[in-house]
Amino acid sequence: MINQLSLNEYQKGLADEKLLGIHCKKCNQFSFHSSVVCKHCGSTELETKNFEAAGTIKTYTVIRVASDGFEAPFVVALVKTDSRIHVMGNLDIDPDSVGMELIGKRVSISSKKVNPDPYAKEVTHTLKFVLE
Partner 1 sequence: MREVAIAGVSMTDFGVSENTCVEMFCEAGIDALNKSKIEPKNIEALFVGNCLGDFEEGQSHIASHIHAALGLPMDSPAMRYENACATATIAVRQAALMVGAGVYDVVLAGGTERVAAMDTPLATRTFAMASNAGYSAPTGITFPGVFAMAAHMYADKYGIEIEELQKYMANVSVKNHYHASMNPKAQFQKEITVDKVLNSVMVADPLHFLDCCPFSDGASAVVIGTKQKVMEMTDKPVYIIGTGQAAGGPIINNPDMTRIKTREASVAQAYKEAGVKPSDIDLCELHDCFTIAEILAIECLGFYEFGKGYDAAQKGETRLGSKKTVINPSGGLKAKGHPIGATGAAQVTEIVEQLRGESGKRQVEGAKTGLVDTLGGEFGTVCNLILRSE
Binding site for Zn ion (CB under 5 A): 24, 26-27, 38, 40-41, 43
**How distant, in Å, are the alpha carbons of 11, 80, 83 from that of 56?**
23, 5, 11
- Phi and psi of 72, rounded to 5°? -80, 160
* Per-residue binder mask for partner 1 (CB under 8 A), 24-63, x = binder: --------xxx----x------------------xxxxxx
Task: Give dist(CA 57, CA 8) in Å, integer.
Answer: 27
Question: Taking CB within 5 to 8 Å according to partner kind, which of Zn ion, partner 1, none is near residue 10?
Answer: partner 1
- Measured from the CB atom, the residue of 49 and 105 that comes closer to partner 1 is 105
Q: 64-103 burial, b if ≥16 CB within 10 A, otherwise e? A: eeeeeeeeeebbebbbebebebebebbbebebeebeeebe
Residue 69 found at the interface with partner 1 (CB under 8 A) = yes
Question: Taking CB within 5 to 8 Å according to partner kind, which of Zn ion, partner 1, none is near residue 38?
Answer: Zn ion
- Measured from the CB atom, the residue of 21 and 89 that comes closer to Zn ion is 21
Q: What is the closest distance, in whole angstroms, from the C-beta atom of residue 1 to partner 1 in the complex?
A: 23
